[in-house]
Amino acid sequence: MDFPVGDLLAPPWPDDGPRITGVRAVVTAPEGVNLVVVRVDTDVDGLYGLGCATFAYRSAAVALVVEEYLAPRLVGRSAGHVTDTFHTLRHGPYWRDGPIGNNALSGVDMALWDLKGKVAGLPVWSLLGGRCREVLPAYTTVYAPTVPAMAEALAPRVAAGDTRFRPLVTAGEPPGRRLPDPAGTVDAAVDLVTRLAAELPGPARFVVDVHGQLPYPAVAGLAARLEPLPLLYLEDPVAVEDLGWLPVLRGRTSLPIAIGEVFTSVNEYLPLLAGRSMDYVRCHVSAIGGITPALRLAATAELFGVRTAWHGPLDLSPVGHAANVALGTAAPNFGVHEHHEPASVTREMFPGAPVLEAGAVRPSADPGLGVDFDEALARRFPPVAADRLFGLEGLRRADGAAQRP
């Protein structure tokens, strides 16, 4: 072939503006969890975009797709045609919407939005239609070894105006741990929320995350017992393999339902939205391909009165968190923002990372996504082995059978 692949795939209209000169992926683990950051360089000196491609469990595969498959198709293209680039790359491999390919695509998509904002001198949320709110009410995941320790950790935060939490009582068990029986899991969840609601110095609301790990009868019982308690929402009450139970649960509870964390396509949400089976879109933005498809998902959810609650865990880079903030700022149907408070080294590595203040995140006014990336520092924190991540692999039921996470 006598011409770059990027030229072959270029759109059939004249291009102008900055052109892409290089694309690379960096995998780093400043907090012991692999983050994948994509950088797209241009022919304008000092102008580059950053995106999040974090699929922590298969980070090496994502980085390979970015550098071996996407980069050759991007070099030489205009950086400005974000939507066309997204669709060209998404359809390229014919089979599509897997988590590895979508996360790689997301890294490029977010980086191009970041670039577009920098060229315009505007934050990405401004390009998406402008502000719909001044700040984004947020919640965080809080870990503690016991319920009293959890109450002690949350009390000063509630007193300071931070009132939304996903509390997890865990002793930090290693991979291969066995989950308690379903009845024990339900009892522990109800006890935790009941005691926190009674012991904290002010009103607070809580996320109870089932992670799709309970059989339906246990979920129905859990929902019934949580009804009188101050829940923000019940998250992933059924597994992706068991979505047929969701409308049944919907008919039995008034609890808000959030679902979709492990979905990898906008299309997976459509029957649940049309069936009014959910209240919050619980989407990991990089898993569906980035900001471009997330915009469509948010707009579709709005038509059905469903709000957004983009997935914002530890295994999402600050660039990805900034993308969530941009989407939440511009969406009229924003519901709540999930915030992970990065460690000091992560803040140093990602200047401009979103900040939680009094239970809310304020959108950055800086051009693009507003987050930079110190690659030299990142390379001092190489990726960790996949089997060290979270302990979601190797989960087993009380009887020893394998448990899907």
May I ask the CATH architecture of the domain 5-122? 2-Layer Sandwich (3.30)
Right CATH number for 126-367 from 3.40.50.1110, 1.10.510.10, 3.40.50.720, 3.20.20.120?
Answer: 3.20.20.120
* Rounded distance between C-alpha atoms, residue 161 and residue 249, angstroms: 33
End-to-end distance of the chain based on CA atoms, in angstroms? 45
Enter the pTM of the model.
0.94
> Is the pLDDT score of 1 beyond 90?
no
Backbone angles phi, psi at 231, to 5 degrees: -95, 140
* Rounded distance between C-alpha atoms, residue 133 and residue 157, angstroms: 23
Q: Which residues pair with 24 in a beta bridge?
A: 39
Q: For residue range 310-363, what is the model confidence (pLDDT) as tens digits? A: 999 999 999 999 999 999 999 999 999 999 999 999 999 999 999 999 999 999
Q: In sequence order, what are the residues at sequence separation of 6 or more whose Cβ sits closer than 8 angstroms to the Cβ of residue 300?
A: 266, 269, 270, 273
Q: For residue range 138-175, what is the model confidence (pLDDT) as tens digits? A: 999 999 999 999 999 999 999 999 999 999 987 555 54
Q: CATH 3.20.20.120 residue ranges in the chain?
A: 126-367
Rounded to an integer, the average pLDDT of 214-226 is 97
Q: For residue range 18-65, what is the model confidence (pLDDT) as tens digits? A: 999 999 999 999 999 999 999 999 999 999 999 999 999 999 999 999
Closest CA to 278 of 296, 295, 261: 261
Amino acid residing at 351: P
Q: For residue range 66-76, what is the model confidence (pLDDT) as tens digits? A: 999 999 999 99
Q: For residue range 114-128, what is the model confidence (pLDDT) as tens digits? A: 999 999 999 999 999
Among the residue ranges 7-16, 22-31, 253-262, 366-375, the one predicted with the least confidence is: 7-16
User: Strand runs (DSSP E) across 105-216, as ranges?
Assistant: 136-144, 164-169, 205-209
> Is the pLDDT score of 296 beyond 50?
yes
Backbone angles phi, psi at 313, to 5 degrees: -90, -170
**pLDDT confidence of residue 165:** 97
Residue bearing the bigger pLDDT, 385 or 386: 385
Inter-CA distances, 294 with 5, 19, 40, 194, 278, Å: 27, 25, 20, 35, 17
- DSSP classification of residue 244: G
**pLDDT confidence of residue 382:** 96
Question: pLDDT category, 390, cuts 50, 70, 90?
Answer: low
* Rounded distance between C-alpha atoms, residue 117 and residue 323, angstroms: 12
> Is the pLDDT score of 383 beyond 90?
yes
Q: Are strands 356-357 and 360-361 parallel, antiparallel or unpaired?
A: antiparallel
In this structure, what token pair is assigned to residue 366? Answer: 């800086």
Share of the chain above pLDDT 70, in %: 94
Burial (Cβ within 10 Å: 0-12, 13-18, ≥19) of residue 8: exposed
Q: CATH 3.30.390.10 residue ranges in the chain?
A: 5-122
Backbone angles phi, psi at 119, to 5 degrees: -65, -40
> Is the pLDDT score of 3 beyond 60?
no
Q: In sequence order, what are the residues at sequence separation of 6 or more whose Cβ sits closer than 8 angstroms to the Cβ of residue 17?
A: 78, 79, 80, 119
- What integer best gives the mean pLDDT of the chain? 93
